[in-house]
Amino acid sequence: MRLTVLVASLATVTFAHAKPGVETVATGFERPLWVGAPSHVKDRLWVIEQVGRIWIIDAKTGQKQPEPFLDISSQVRRKGNEEGLLGLAFAPDFEKSGRFCVNFVDRDQNTRISRFVAKGPDFKSADPDSQAVLLSFKQPFDNHNGGWIAYGPDQMLYVGTGDGGAGDDPHDNGQNLNTYLGKILRIDTSPEDSYQVPKDNPFVGQKDAKPEIWAYGMRNPWRCSFDRQTGDFWIGDVGQNHWEEIDYLPKGKGAGSNFGWRLREADKKNPNDKIGGPAPKNDVEPVYSYAHGNKSDEGFSVTGGYVYRGPVKELQGRYIFADYQSRRVWSFVLKGDKATDFKDYTDDFQPEGGKLGMITSFGEDPSGNLYIVDQSGPILRIVDK
């Protein structure tokens, strides 16, 4: 009787102190940059390789399809470290239409937003010849290409673009409404042949402004997300010399928002006195920022993440993000417009028998499971240990 009670007590203590961890789902990718799946698919994951390939893997075994879902490597420019195939978004009606969009830098150094069609009935491959170019615009330098795309809860396609590169945004693209660079764009891709500008975009009909712009003042939004439960919008914007930032817009809010770059770096004046200034009109301050450095709460290049809505109870409702350079993973809970209850999960998320590499992205599946994309090749799933 005493032994039974003791075993039960130990089991209770062990469960109470259980922590989240990770398991390796798949390995062997060449510079993977994204993982995810269409809303109706629960047994497969799509993985982007920066070189220009997209693979489908079995979500349970990690086994890769013999042939890529799509291979456009012949069209993709990879001269710069930040160039390549950078984003993927499945159309809201993908289950019926097989339509999806990608964001990549082409051989002429243009950012290209293209739509493709996958072949039914199970959409295991896409037709490269089905490409329809929706948007194309020149990149003046080989960094700060942004690259994130996703469909929002309004079924519009959102596109994150960097300021064009170099330092201090030399062309002042972030504050210039007559360029696609340094922006969050919003377009309607439902037309068969091209796209439409949503009538409620904030700069429709305004002279010297691109009507596709939803928000501006971005430096290099590297990984954004929509909260699957609330529809709120999260942005990880990479800083320059001193600060990294996480930005936030409630669902349906924020049209015409200005995130401040190049006048501001996070919520601080740009230290370059020639261009730094006070917060501009319609300024949106970050809900969290962190300094450059080597301390446990510092880093050098933010990788935006997701609000966790999966099965691990301890993580539910927490915004999970990382730093690419320092290889650290953190989280916080947003209360009002303030980040609270900051936690460091770096040690918990070390894979068995290895170490976290540079985290290029997070990903989410239809069940709310969250994945970590390691640039060196592995795809990890966050689990309850």
CA-to-CA separations, 261 to 54, 162, 217, 225, in angstroms, rounded: 32, 11, 5, 20
Sorted by sequence, the CB contacts under 8 Å of residue 247 that are 6+ apart come out as 234, 235, 236, 237, 259, 284, 286, 287
Are 236 and 222 in contact, with CB atoms under 8 Å apart? Answer: yes
Say if residue 315's pLDDT is above 50: yes
Q: What is the mean pLDDT of residues 161-180?
A: 98
Helix ranges (DSSP H) in the chain: 2-16, 94-97
Six-digit token string for 209: 């402004």
Q: How far apart are CA 52 and CA 142, in angstroms?
A: 16
How do residues 348-359 score in pLDDT, each as one tens digit?
A: 999 999 999 999
How do residues 55-113 score in pLDDT, each as one tens digit?
A: 999 999 999 999 999 999 999 999 999 999 999 999 999 999 999 999 999 999 999 99
Q: Which pLDDT does position 12 carry in this prediction?
A: 44
Using DSSP's 3-state secondary structure scheme, residue 66 falls into coil
On the question of a cis peptide bond just before residue 262, with omega within 30 degrees of 0, the verdict is: yes
Say if residue 145's pLDDT is above 90: yes
DSSP bridge pairs for 244 = 290
Work out the end-to-end distance of the chain between its first and last CA atoms, rounded to an integer number of angstroms.
29
Other residues' Cβ atoms within 10 Å of the Cβ of residue 129: 7
Q: What is the mean pLDDT of residues 319-334?
A: 98
How do residues 30-45 score in pLDDT, each as one tens digit?
A: 999 999 999 999 999 9
